[in-house]
Amino acid sequence: MIRTLIHTIDQFLVAVTTEAVASGVVTKEWTKQHLAEVLDGARACVTKIEDLARQYPEPEYDADPALIDSMLHDKATTVAYLDHQDAPIRAAAIKILSRTWKVTKELKNKYVRLAREDADTHVRTLALFYLGYEYYATGESTVRKLLIDIIGDESETRDIRLVAYMALFDLVGRPLYEMPALHLLRLPEDLDTKLLKS
């Protein structure tokens, strides 16, 4: 996740720099020097975050370690835990499946169901996130329809709609830096209407 963040920062800075130089606002020499300083600062921040994460580790899975171990070694067991009554175990199953095994049509259908119907917000968020991640830049039609439906559903919470919107950006291969800052994004006024066309 942290490496994805620094890659996104790099992409954004290169895009801004290219635009600034093309418009004649700044010179290449000035831009090169300041871009290097900004990238060094961003990388230093990421290093600090990584150091803090090592000093104060959080448990990755909120479930019994023996249960996690069984999931890490058996895909069928892990898939079965997607239907477990406890939300932390469902969440752990989503993470393990997405990190350990390739997505299949069966898994896609289960993630779609969890994203649409699960009673736990965290489980829904993970399912949405991994659908966008697993189908990055494919535009997969079932996932796209699900995401567009959730984004347009005013009965959904703002957070769920925003996660679905970010997942949609992944699904179509658009960089997240093209999205307005989430705390400023107004629903539905600031949504990209072209992106939301089925």
pTM of the shown model: 0.72
Q: Domain extents for the chain?
A: 2-55, 102-178
Among candidate residues 171, 172, 38, 189, the one with its CA nearest the CA of residue 180: 189
**Domain 102-178, CATH:** 1.25.10
pLDDT value at residue 43? 72
Given a contact cutoff of 8 angstroms between Cβ atoms, the answer to whether 158 and 194 are in contact is no
Digit-by-digit pLDDT tens for the chain (198 residues) are: 555 555 666 666 666 666 666 676 666 676 667 767 777 777 776 777 777 666 666 567 777 888 888 898 999 999 999 999 999 999 999 999 998 888 899 999 999 999 999 999 999 999 999 999 999 999 999 999 999 999 999 999 999 999 999 999 999 999 888 888 888 889 999 999 888 885
Give CA separation, 88 vs 27, 43, 58, 81, 180, in Å: 53, 33, 14, 10, 31
pLDDT value at residue 68? 86
For 131-158, write each residue's pLDDT tens digit: 999 999 999 999 999 999 999 999 999 9
